[in-house]
Amino acid sequence: MSWFGRLTQGLAKSTKRLTDNITGLATGTLPLDDDRLDEIEEALIAADLGPAVAGRIRDRLADQKFAKGIDDAGIRRVVAEEVEKVLAPVAVPLAITRRPQVVLVVGVNGSGKTTTIAKLANRLKADGKSVMLAAGDTFRAAAIAQLKIWADRVGVPIVAGDQGGDAASLAYDAIRKATDAGVDVLIIDTAGRLQNKAGLMDELAKMKRVIGKIDATAPHDVLLVLDATTGQNALSQIEVFGTVAGVTGLVMTKLDGSARGGMLVAAAEKYRLPIHAIGVGEGMDDLQPFDAAEFAAALAGSGD
Amino acid sequence: MFDSLSERLGGIFERLRGRGALTEIDVRAAMREVRVALLEADVALPVVKDFIENATQRAIGAEVIKSVTPGQQVVKIVNDCLVELLGGEDEPAPLKIAVTPPAVVMMVGLQGSGKTTSSAKLASWLATRERKKVMMASLDVARPAAQEQLRVLGEQLEIATLPIIAGQTPVQIAERARQSARLQGFDVIILDTAGRLGVDEALMTEMAAIATATTPDEILLVVDSLTGQDAVNVASAFKERVALTGVILTRMDGDARGGAALSMRSVTGAPIRFAGVGEKLDALELFDARRVAGRILGMGDIVGLVEKAAANFEAEQAEKMAEKLAKGQFDMDDLRQQLGQMKKMGGLSGLAAMMPGMGAAKKAMDSGAINPKLLDRMEAIILSMTPKERAKPEIITAKRKIRIANGSGTTVQDVNKVLKMHQEMANAMKRLKKMGGMKGMMKMLAGMGGMPGPDGGAGGAKDTGGPGGAIDLGAVGRMFGRPGLGSLPPGFNKFGRK
């Protein structure tokens, strides 16, 4: 099943807020009055776009003239168009251009970094790239074991140390090994950390510095993994991880659930960071390139 | 973004100053701001709507107490409603584990919400605080190494875990856990289940099957406090399939406003029992509705700050300090002690995060404009002084300053800043003495009767007198030697700038 299928299926099973809200309004063609605009705004808020962005999209819709009125499908279509306009410029796939390309994966606890790494490795491998993993989460119990199991399943080599070890020096070793082995991509896992923990963020900055010592251009990508379930705090995550770790792109996970991930719209407006991929399931194949039009359509419920 | 709801409401109510009761029109205008505040705090939309309706009904016609602005009055009513909805002022009821052993506690939730860590924290809580013999069992056969993770955590905590047998289904593991807990005389068994999405029919059915097979005494939903609007879907999806008896809110040490708490509480109806507040395995607290209400409204975690301050302030030191204060003395060693206290309380950024109106300072710190290592550097400077200099800073001449700077690896300017800061703090302490000293102040802080600030000082005035749990922020500020909030302690702001 395509990711879009999964996404809309998830939507169908959940409360279908946006579709319900808009559909519940009226059948037939009616002017886009304040009541309907209010409903649209609320539906967008309920999809985690945040009150500010939802308000702006509402204003944009209000500015458009629908002289003959507009029906539900029409509303969903224009909402999707507005959302797509914001997202289209940031829908950029992860490009592999160097060897070894060093990809550092960061994020708060439980956002899905380790699983995303496995999926990413699987996808890159399927594209014919050689991949190596580095088990840089030396803090969480059994995080190393978890990534080892994934490396085994995907069939890629892994560099791992012991729990409690120094993540920065592990990353250093991993880059040397990746260079010696001539792999295309090295993906480095990191421990989850809340962005307001200064000490842990310092550690991340150090890890990045150490990586830069062996290759001044590395890490070439710093991926921030965002959980679709997260609300407005995602913006704070992008801001702080961006400053400390120099995030170059986003991956959003858990979009197969009932969460719509609408804060990506707010994030795209504010930070303009590329959104590389989305996670739509627990399986190895459940990572898909981010497609602005499809995402916008799913968000607005105009997929079909 | 705004720092405090009362600030935001201030403008709306400016024209109302001095009027008697709150009218419907005024209240509705204010509630529009409250609505946005709640949405920005990630409270789910349907919950916000219900909440606003209730709070509006309560606010219309309410008398505005003298010396309080209508905006503050509305914030107080909103805050009271929030506290009530979140579970009231009292501590949450204890877990129902005083049953014929083993009591079964089942943990459920989405992937990555923090179930495994919470299971370990809860096990440790029950073992240490309630002297229960606890066993943990991981039923997570989906995520690689999940069972291993719980085993390792159990080892660290010296809490028994059920031996892992590969190939068993979650229901089989749960049944085995119950059996062996009964045979080995455990009081409580904690079942850590796999993360699952509410829309995943197969896994939701599995969860219901586990609950049927083990008839848990408690089914706790573990929810990430960073959760957004989806909270309401999650809560209803889980509530539909199992009889939730409580909620654990994780990552409350993050900087999210935590609106998910309100969504969870109103959708599940189950009490929020615990809050996870850190990565360490003892970082679990009883849920405190008052504190979280303040946070959702953007009023800062003032109560938390005071509690933390009180817990860290060792009695002996407090007494010594009180003695010195009585004499109006405050020397360099006292300053160093204060710095030590601040460090224990999580350093500057930890403190800043808990105070309202400190968003800017915190941002400055996060962005590196203010170095969180400031405390260490100041301590180094003080430690480079002789005992005599510390007791009598006025003897520090230019020559001595150079020696101190060299000794501490800083500059004379830095030394000057510390001296200046000490001077300002000493002055603040003298003022404090006039107010009845440290003991009086601590009492005042603990009372928290929603009293207006005695001096209406600087930034403090804006935030005080708002919610029911409001306390004298000026006093909190002065405890750290600061005349008011909204700025860093005297000396700090200058020190931070490079």
Q: What is the phi-psi region of residue B437: left when phi exceeds 0, alpha when psi lies from -120 to 50, beta otherwise?
A: left
Q: Which pLDDT does position B27 carry in this prediction?
A: 86
Contacts of B349 in chain A (CB under 8 A): 196, 198
CA atoms within 13 A of residue B383's CA, in its CB half-sphere: 12
A60, A90, A120 - which closes a domain: A90
Alpha helices in B14-62 (DSSP H): 24-40, 45-59
Q: Do A157 and A235 lie in a common domain?
A: yes
pLDDT given for residue A113 in this prediction: 96
- The answer to whether residues A186 and A50 belong to one domain is no
Residue A65: per-residue pLDDT: 75
- Whether A259 has its CB under 8 Å from any CB of chain B: the answer is yes
Q: In whole angstroms, what is the distance from residue A60 CA to residue A32 CA?
A: 12
Give the chain A residue whose CA is nearest to the CA of B224: A230
Residue ending a domain, choose from A66, A90, A114 = A90
Mutate to test the interface with B, among A138, A148, A189, A196 (most CBs of B within 10 A): A196
Q: Do residue A169 and residue A69 come from a single domain?
A: no
Residues within 8 A of B (CB atoms), A 123-182 only: 139-143, 145-146, 148-150, 163
Looking at the 3D structure of chain A, how many domains does it have?
2
Residue B171: per-residue pLDDT = 96
- Domain of A27? 3-90
**A117 to chain B, minimum CA–CA distance in Å?**
13
Closest alpha carbon to A178 in A250, A144, A129: A129
Q: What angle do CA B493, B495, B498 make, to 5 degrees?
A: 105
Domain identity same for A175 and A282 = yes
Considering the domain architecture, whether residues A107 and A67 belong to the same structural domain is answered as no
Domain's final residue, options A90, A112, A141: A90
Pair A71, A133 in one domain: no
Judging contacts by C-beta atoms under 8 Å, the chain B residues touching residue A41 are: none
The answer to whether A137 touches A144, Cβ cutoff 8 Å, is yes
Could you give the CA distance from residue B17 to residue B37 in angstroms, rounded to a whole number?
A: 23
From A201, which residue of chain B is nearest by alpha-carbon distance?
B366
B164-188 as b/e: b if 16+ CB within 10 A = eeeeeebbebbeebbebbeeeebbb
Residues 60 through 89 of chain A touching chain B, CB cutoff 8 Å:
none
The residue whose two tokens read 């603990």 is B446
The domain spans of chain B are 5-86, 103-288, 302-496
pLDDT for position B476: 35
Supply the CATH classification number for the domain B302-496.
1.10.260.30
Interface residue B224 vs chain A (CB under 8 A):
yes
Residues B280, B237: contact at Cβ < 8 Å?
A: no
- Per CB-CB distance under 8 Å, the chain A contacts of B198 are 14, 257-258
On whether any CB of chain B is under 8 Å from the CB of A112, the answer is yes
- How far is it, in rounded angstroms, from Cα B200 to Cα B125? 32
* Closest Cα in chain A to B235: A258
DSSP secondary structure letter of residue B63: B
- Specify whether A77 is located in the same domain as A126: no
Average confidence (pLDDT) over A207-214: 94
Q: Is residue A15 part of a domain?
A: yes
**Does A282 reside within a domain?**
yes
The verdict on A64 and A119 lying in the same domain is no
Q: Is the pLDDT reported for residue A11 higher than 70? A: no
The reported pTM is 0.74
CB contact under 8 A, B197 and A194: no
Q: Let me know whether A52 and A27 are in one domain.
A: yes
pLDDT of residue B91: 85
Cα A80 to chain centroid, rounded = 19
Same domain for A171 and A285, yes or no, is: yes
What ipTM goes with this model? 0.86
Positive or negative torsion for Cα B462, B39, A275, A39: negative
Task: Let me know whether A260 and A137 are in one domain.
Answer: yes
Is residue A8 domain-shared with residue A107, that is, in the same domain? no
**B136 within 8 A of B113, measured Cβ to Cβ:** no
List Cβ neighbours of B412 (8 Å cut-off, separation of 6 or more).
B398, B401, B402, B405
For tokens 């792109």, name the residue: A249
Nearest CA of chain A to the CA of B22: how many Å? 26
Is A300 inside any structural domain? no
- Give the distance, in angstroms, between the CA of residue B146 and the centroid of all CA atoms in the same chain: 28
The sign of the CA dihedral B410, B416, B422, B424 is negative
Residues 94-153 of B with CB under 8 A from A: 110-114, 142-146, 148-153
- pLDDT band, very low/low/confident/very high, at A229 (cuts 50, 70, 90): very high
Report if residue A263 sits inside a domain.
Answer: yes
Query: Per DSSP, what are the bridge partners of residue A289?
Result: A277
pLDDT score, position B309:
53
Question: Which stretches of chain B drop beneath a pLDDT of 50?
Answer: 1-3, 301-304, 306-307, 354-361, 369, 436-498
**At the topology level of CATH, where does B5-86 sit?**
Four Helix Bundle (Hemerythrin (Met), subunit A) (1.20.120)
CATH number at residue A25: 1.20.120.140
Interface test with A, best of B161, B197, B234, B345 (most A CBs within 10 A): B197
| B146/A142 CB distance under 8 A | yes
Kindly report, residue by residue over A160-199, the tens digit of the pLDDT. 999 999 999 999 999 999 999 999 999 999 999 999 998 8
Q: Domain for residue A209, yes or no?
A: yes
B135 bridge partner residues: B160, B189
Instruction: Classify domain B103-288 at the CATH superfamily level.
Output: P-loop containing nucleotide triphosphate hydrolases (3.40.50.300)
Residues of B in contact with A148 (CB under 8 A): 145
